[in-house]
């Protein structure tokens, strides 16, 4: 009889010890998760992203068979990306917030306006104190068979921008089109890549010259999906730093 009682007491003590150990482990894991979350949140709060919706105003950029310029599509994707980033606590600005260009109406010809726009865009980027600039564009080739998002990086900031481009390109492949075999490349010969001091990546989000992709790109759902792909890629990139 006494032996059975002692066995029951030992079982109760053993169960109590196991419960105490499990509670202790759970509390330690919770504290660790809270520490990681706090560190991640503090990291994000210190990061400033500048989004550059390409073109605008008299310069509507590329267009496809539907004759819709890339400028408003660039802006729509940029606005959605900004919303995702702000929702995560990033400091975010854009180079333009409507369909106007970065020039004065006093500029002479359309070429003069485009040149002034690029000059002002470079100046705005260089004075932004941004940790990363994401320039949003759409592609177009004379041949209609080409498709797929493509990310470009700077030669001058290759160490920073190549990693960002690699990760965001992979994210866009996984989310938008797994058949996309494009790899990030250095972009030279345009002012926002050559004349800027801060890290810039340029994302061609697809081809307006491809009829199938053009139909996707004018869709608000696909624009949001594109912004989400860039956003998730950016988060993965920041986790690598």
Give per-residue pLDDT as tens, 53-87: 999 999 999 999 999 999 999 999 999 999 999 99
Do 165 and 211 share a structural domain?
A: yes
Do 103 and 203 share a structural domain?
A: yes
User: Is 171 in contact with 230 (CB distance < 8 Å)?
Assistant: yes
Do 38 and 133 share a structural domain?
A: no
User: Is 89 in contact with 41 (CB distance < 8 Å)?
Assistant: yes
Do 79 and 181 share a structural domain?
A: yes
Of 11, 27, 46, the domain-final residue: 46
Mean pLDDT of 87-111: 93
Expressed as residue numbers, the domain containing 219 is: 47-240
Question: Cα–Cα distance between 131 and 199 in angstroms, integer?
Answer: 7
pTM above 0.95, yes or no: no
CATH number of the domain encompassing residue 169: 3.40.630.40
Do 62 and 42 share a structural domain?
A: no
Question: Cα–Cα distance between 224 and 77 in angstroms, integer?
Answer: 6
Do 181 and 232 share a structural domain?
A: yes
Quick one: DSSP state of residue 9? H
Do 164 and 104 share a structural domain?
A: yes
Do 85 and 1 share a structural domain?
A: no
Token pair recorded at residue 219: 């869709």
User: Is 62 in contact with 214 (CB distance < 8 Å)?
Assistant: no
Do 181 and 77 share a structural domain?
A: yes
Do 209 and 95 share a structural domain?
A: yes
Question: Cα–Cα distance between 126 and 105 in angstroms, integer?
Answer: 23
pLDDT interval class at 108 (50, 70, 90): confident
Token pair recorded at residue 41: 């949140």
Total domains in the chain come to 2
Helix (H) or strand (E) holding 197: none
- The SS3 of residue 109 is coil
The answer, yes or no, to whether residue 98 has pLDDT greater than 90, is: yes
Do 75 and 20 share a structural domain?
A: no
The answer, yes or no, to whether residue 33 has pLDDT greater than 80, is: no
Do 88 and 15 share a structural domain?
A: no
The answer, yes or no, to whether residue 1 has pLDDT greater than 60, is: no
The answer, yes or no, to whether residue 100 has pLDDT greater than 60, is: yes
The answer, yes or no, to whether residue 93 has pLDDT greater than 70, is: yes
């Amino acid at each position: 009889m006494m032996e059975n009682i002692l066995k029951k007491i030992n079982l109760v003590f053993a169960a109590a010890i196991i419960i105490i150990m499990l509670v202790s482990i759970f509390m330690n894991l919770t504290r660790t998760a809270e520490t990681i979350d706090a560190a991640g949140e503090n990291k994000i709060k210190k990061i400033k992203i500048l989004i550059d919706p390409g073109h605008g105003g008299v310069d509507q950029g590329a267009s496809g068979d539907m004759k819709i310029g890339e400028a408003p599509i660039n802006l729509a994707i940029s606005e959605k990306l900004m919303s995702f980033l702000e929702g995560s606590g990033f400091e975010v600005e854009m180079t333009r917030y409507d369909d106007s260009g970065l020039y004065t109406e006093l500029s002479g010809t359309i070429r003069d306006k485009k040149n002034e726009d690029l000059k002002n865009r470079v100046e705005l980027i260089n004075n932004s104190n941004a940790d990363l600039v994401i320039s949003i564009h759409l592609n177009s080739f004379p041949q209609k068979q080409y498709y797929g998002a493509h990310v470009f990086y700077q030669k001058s900031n290759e160490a920073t921008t190549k990693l960002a481009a690699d990760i965001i390109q992979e994210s866009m492949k996984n989310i938008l089109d797994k058949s996309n075999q494009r790899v990030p490349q250095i972009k030279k010969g345009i002012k926002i890549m050559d004349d800027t001091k801060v890290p810039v990546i340029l994302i061609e989000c697809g081809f307006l010259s491809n009829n199938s992709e053009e139909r996707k790109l004018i869709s608000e759902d696909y624009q949001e999906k594109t912004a989400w792909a860039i956003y998730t890629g950016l988060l993965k990139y920041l986790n690598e730093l």
